[in-house]
Structure 1
Amino acid sequence: MFRFFKHYVSHAVTLMALIEFLALLCAAEGAWHIYAYQAGFHAGPFAERAVPVMTFAIANSLALMAVGAYSSEALRSMGFAVVRLLAAISLGVIFLAVVGFALPNATMWRANSLYAMAIALAALFLIRLIMSQCAGASTFQRRILVLGAGPRAARLAKLAEKPGSGLVMAGFVAMSDKEKTVKGALPRDTFDSLSEHVLALRVGEVVLAPEERRGSLPLSDLLRVKTTGVHVNDIASFIERETGRVDLATTNPSGLIFSDGFSAGQRMSKVGKRIFDIVASLLVLIIGLPLILIGGLAVKLDSKGPIFYRQSRVGLFGEPYDIWKLRSMRTDAEAAGKAVWASENDPRITRVGRIIRKLRIDELPQLWCVLKGDMSFVGPRPERPSFVAELERELPFYAERHMVKPGLTGWAQINYPYGASVEDARVKLEYDLYYAKNYSPFLDLLILLQTVRVVMWPEGAR
């Protein structure tokens, strides 16, 4: 993996995205020549059609990202990939229609677009088939040597066993006699030179995962390993890179303090994010107003009570603010006066409430909070003060998630189903900390695109 605007991206995904982007360019160019031949005119120089061809490729590349066509499952399963490719092409048509309405000269003619879509679909299918059959998963696998054989090292072994991880554990080295969790681990004294052992195993990375680091790390050996070109990493950074989460079990305050993250407060990023929030919230409020009206009418007809409900949430720097939503629960949902976690198949949710929750229509009134500046489009999910007080007692670093504005969508929301317990909150906190630590406009764009996938396949909505 490598860092792109502070976000970790795998080499396999990058290569696939570049190949498919080139295929989309070729599809658009080929479609232009086919139409020119049929209509009996000369295609002309590429410069005259560069903008429409690029628009076609960019729109469909964004659609591929939005539907999750580069997820690990899409790269492993051909059937899964085909479904996402079909969804991406359909979404690409919508993207191009919107662009064509706003900028007519930036898109191809309808006949050209039709040909291009057909060629693109065939080309993308062929690329996925070739990559899955010929390249294989082993092409991008990385060989890892773990220094440690205790519970921490065992976590890395389980991580490597997950489908699509791309990791091969070349070996484990027990750094002390107490480390016996991982079977088959070699004691450190069984070989003289760690650097020679690393080279013999053809390892690309060494991960430090001893149970006790003080006095157990062979610094001179690790320096020699580093100078041979092999990457040396600690377990916390390794897990963060591979999972997109700040692992609370292996992270300590000094690791967060001396890391290169948590730069979301930079002035240019902050101003740019706010301008985007104002413009986007105004546009979506205008476009989504009919949905709010229809949803509000359905709520009123379905159950007694108000259309909207207001609730206090914890925002930036821990300051409270009020959110507005379309009511999706009965008015006596918390008759006892105590905040209650939402649960799967929650009986308090009304019939209409289930529909508007799955379609995220109930969230649309929160755009007013984005416009006012209490929220952002992208950020950690805002929680109620009573839940925050409980979670700050239970979870380390929970207060740090409030160093960025809460959002309508976020890194945790697109990567983990709706949580309804302290353990769920722990996992989502790990994603939120990753977002706060590695924030960039690129990560915001990625989250916004992936939100389309969550809306289209709302497995985690409650």
Structure 2
Amino acid sequence: MSYIRLNKHYIHLPYLFLGIIELGLLALAAWFAERWHKVMSESASQWVSAPEQWTSVALFSVVLSCCTLSMGVYIALVREGYSSMVLRTLVSFFLLGSLALFVLNMVLGGELLAQGVIFWGVLFSTVLVLISRWFFMMLVDTAELKRRVVIYGAGQRAQTLLENLEPEKDLVGVQVVGCIPSGSEPVAVDQSLVLPTPSDWVRFVKSQTISEIVVAPDERRQRDGGVFPLDELIDCKLVGVPTSDALGFCERELGKIDITLLKPGWMLFSDGFKYSKRRNIAKRVFDLGLAGLFVLLLWPFMLLTALAVFLDGGRPVFYHQDRTGLNGKSFRIYKFRSMRQDAEKEGKAVWAQKNDARVTRVGAFIRNTRLDELPQLYNVLKGEMSFVGPRPERPEFVADLGEQIPFYHTRHKVKPGLMGWAQLKYPYGASVEDARNKLQYDLYYTKNHSFLMDMLIMIQTVEIVLLGKGVH
């Protein structure tokens, strides 16, 4: 098994192990930086007690680890190569990490983390982490780390699963060995992937070093007289080769729920889609505290944004729309106006397009920096939104999408948010097909949402904001 599940969210072990190793390297860098700073400053009074020392080491390590996640460094290492990873590491450590540690040092009174320790710690951390990743890429063949998977089924369901895996083939921890047709179902997959039905399944999985069998036939009831190989698959399971269904496999590997494979019964009997009063209270307290803190810290930026919008296009400075929230209830969302005042002259809702001509000069900037979203902190304080959740959509679009896309209204079973899982995984949606694809990630969040997942989404959203991804 190359993954574990924490709070219902799947985490692949290679990423987890690499993160743990680097966390140790960051702690080592902080420890060494403290001693180096003593030598350089000829001071004998830095971090006088062991508890304070290890608190500082832990704080330093956690902050830089979060910065690494926020810039998508691990994904860049696999998808974009070593040079892109180096650039993202430099940004995450020297820009985000140094700034975050500086602010924390001010908040803590400057007693736990001396500025010299921050400087040397970031420098040593960068060197250690880059060297460790270089050795990892030189010594480890990532293809050899992938689990070998065979799909039982070669029809349309199997083809859909392969199409889902293709865009993420460099990131997922599996390699599809081939597809075994089920009965006489029409073959829809590439012929090069079709494998003959094994006469001895146990011998087959051992000889091919198969790690998992994904069951994805178009029809499990063999109408042509064939028999579903239940006993054979159980034998494989007993020798350590588990089976999984296509929907669960897609959820685990890709972080989404494929609605083309989804059936209502699966939603009803799955281990997700649960209500937790304790979690809802904790999330509400967290939202109130964080929204209040952001208002205190960001009010100067909100004031400057309002002034810029007014000077660029006059009144109104704010823009409001009705959106669909929890359980389908409508509420009014607020933004700084980024489009012309006549953006919807006919009074009809219009999808935002790439390089939309209706966006003003100031509007383009505040959209790229997400400053236009800051008034939604009011919606969070009011309880209509949360920090993390599916992005709320306009009722006009919801009515249309609900008719065209199955299970669309399920995304309204959780409170909408300022940021979401779909925004991390899929670009800006501007069509029915985009809404269909984003829904698969929203359903994953609706099913598996937890405090841990919310934290991961918030950390990774930093990259989206800094790089201006998903902005139209």
Same fold (TM over 0.5): yes
Which letter maps to 1:171? G
Is the 8 Å Cα contact of residues 102 and 115 (structure 2) preserved in structure 1? no
Which letter maps to 2:414? V
The SS at the match of 2:74 is coil
Which of the residues 114, 127, 134 maps onto 2:119? Answer: 114
Alpha-carbon distance between aligned partners in 2 of 1:13 and 1:249, rounded to the nearest angstrom: 29
Alpha-carbon distance between aligned partners in 1 of 2:111 and 2:12, rounded to the nearest angstrom: 32
Please say if 1:53 is aligned against 2:64. Answer: no
Query: Structure 1, residues 363-405: CA drift from partner, whole Å, max 9, x if none?
Result: 0001101000011011100111110000100111111100101
Matches within 5 A, 1:81-100: 81-89=85-93, 90-100=95-105
Is the 8 Å Cα contact of residues 76 and 85 (structure 2) preserved in structure 1? no
Report what 2:311 is aligned to.
Answer: 301
What's the CA shift for 1:155?
Answer: 3.4
Which of the residues 197, 219, 228 maps onto 2:230? Answer: 219
**Judging changes above 3 Å, is the alpha-carbon distance between structure 1 residues 226 and 409 closer, same or farther for their aligned structure 2 residues?**
same
Identity of aligned residues (%): 39
Report what 1:283 is aligned to.
Answer: 293
Which letter maps to 1:112? V
Query: Structure 1, residues 293-328: CA drift from partner, whole Å, max 9, x if none?
Result: 111111111114310112111111100110111111
Please say if 1:431 is aligned against 2:436. Answer: no
Please say if 1:252 is aligned against 2:257. Answer: no
Which of the residues 394, 397, 401 maps onto 2:407? Answer: 397
Is the 8 Å Cα contact of residues 379 and 405 (structure 1) preserved in structure 2? yes
What's the CA shift for 1:159?
Answer: 4.8
Alpha-carbon distance between aligned partners in 2 of 1:231 and 1:104, rounded to the nearest angstrom: 54
Which of the residues 326, 335, 341 maps onto 1:325? Answer: 335
The SS at the match of 2:393 is coil
The SS at the match of 1:101 is helix
Is the 8 Å Cα contact of residues 28 and 53 (structure 1) preserved in structure 2? yes
Report what 1:203 is aligned to.
Answer: 210
Is the 8 Å Cα contact of residues 149 and 181 (structure 1) preserved in structure 2? yes
Is the 8 Å Cα contact of residues 380 and 406 (structure 1) preserved in structure 2? yes
Which letter maps to 2:435? A
**Judging changes above 3 Å, is the alpha-carbon distance between structure 1 residues 95 and 176 closer, same or farther for their aligned structure 2 residues?**
same
Question: Which has the higher mean CA deviation after the structures are superposed, 39-48 or 435-444?
Answer: 39-48
Which letter maps to 1:109? A
Unmatched tracts of structure 1, length 5 or more: none
Is the 8 Å Cα contact of residues 302 and 351 (structure 1) preserved in structure 2? yes
Is the 8 Å Cα contact of residues 30 and 57 (structure 2) preserved in structure 1? yes
Alpha-carbon distance between aligned partners in 2 of 1:62 and 1:146, rounded to the nearest angstrom: 36
The SS at the match of 1:186 is coil
Is the 8 Å Cα contact of residues 172 and 254 (structure 2) preserved in structure 1? no
Report what 1:125 is aligned to.
Answer: 130
Question: Which has the higher mean CA deviation after the structures are superposed, 157-166 or 25-34?
Answer: 157-166
Matches within 5 A, 1:354-393: 354-393=364-403
Matches within 5 A, 1:146-225: 146-161=151-166, 162-182=169-189, 183-184=191-192, 185-188=194-197, 191-215=198-222, 217-225=228-236
Query: Structure 1, residues 105-162: CA drift from partner, whole Å, max 9, x if none?
Result: 6632111221111110101110111111211212421100110111222334445553
CA RMSD of aligned residues (A): 1.8
What's the CA shift for 1:72?
Answer: 5.4
Alpha-carbon distance between aligned partners in 2 of 1:293 and 1:92, rounded to the nearest angstrom: 27
Is the 8 Å Cα contact of residues 75 and 171 (structure 2) preserved in structure 1? no
Is the 8 Å Cα contact of residues 35 and 112 (structure 1) preserved in structure 2? yes
Which of the residues 27, 31, 34 maps onto 2:33? Answer: 31
The SS at the match of 1:175 is coil
Alpha-carbon distance between aligned partners in 1 of 2:37 and 2:361, rounded to the nearest angstrom: 50
Is the 8 Å Cα contact of residues 147 and 211 (structure 2) preserved in structure 1? yes
Is the 8 Å Cα contact of residues 153 and 210 (structure 1) preserved in structure 2? yes
Please say if 1:241 is aligned against 2:248. Answer: no
Which of the residues 9, 14, 24 maps onto 2:11? Answer: 9
What's the CA shift for 1:10?
Answer: 1.2
Alpha-carbon distance between aligned partners in 1 of 2:180 and 2:235, rounded to the nearest angstrom: 17
Question: Which has the higher mean CA deviation after the structures are superposed, 111-120 or 425-434?
Answer: 111-120
Which letter maps to 1:95? A
What's the CA shift for 1:45?
Answer: 7.1
**Judging changes above 3 Å, is the alpha-carbon distance between structure 1 residues 48 and 311 closer, same or farther for their aligned structure 2 residues?**
closer
**Judging changes above 3 Å, is the alpha-carbon distance between structure 1 residues 290 and 45 closer, same or farther for their aligned structure 2 residues?**
closer
The SS at the match of 2:332 is strand
Alpha-carbon distance between aligned partners in 2 of 1:147 and 1:439, rounded to the nearest angstrom: 30
**Judging changes above 3 Å, is the alpha-carbon distance between structure 1 residues 36 and 290 closer, same or farther for their aligned structure 2 residues?**
closer
**Judging changes above 3 Å, is the alpha-carbon distance between structure 1 residues 207 and 105 closer, same or farther for their aligned structure 2 residues?**
same
Report what 1:231 is aligned to.
Answer: 242
Which letter maps to 2:182? M
Which of the residues 59, 66, 69 maps onto 1:62? Answer: 66
Query: Structure 1, residues 411-447: CA drift from partner, whole Å, max 9, x if none?
Result: 0112211110000001111111100100110000001
Which letter maps to 2:262? T
Matches within 5 A, 1:326-365: 326-365=336-375
Which letter maps to 2:153? G
Count of aligned pairs: 459
Alpha-carbon distance between aligned partners in 1 of 2:426 and 2:204, rounded to the nearest angstrom: 39
**Judging changes above 3 Å, is the alpha-carbon distance between structure 1 residues 143 and 301 closer, same or farther for their aligned structure 2 residues?**
same
Is the 8 Å Cα contact of residues 60 and 88 (structure 1) preserved in structure 2? yes
Question: Which has the higher mean CA deviation after the structures are superposed, 228-237 or 28-37?
Answer: 28-37
Is the 8 Å Cα contact of residues 55 and 107 (structure 1) preserved in structure 2? no
Alpha-carbon distance between aligned partners in 2 of 1:324 and 1:157, rounded to the nearest angstrom: 41
Unmatched tracts of structure 2, length 5 or more: none
Alpha-carbon distance between aligned partners in 1 of 2:188 and 2:43, rounded to the nearest angstrom: 73
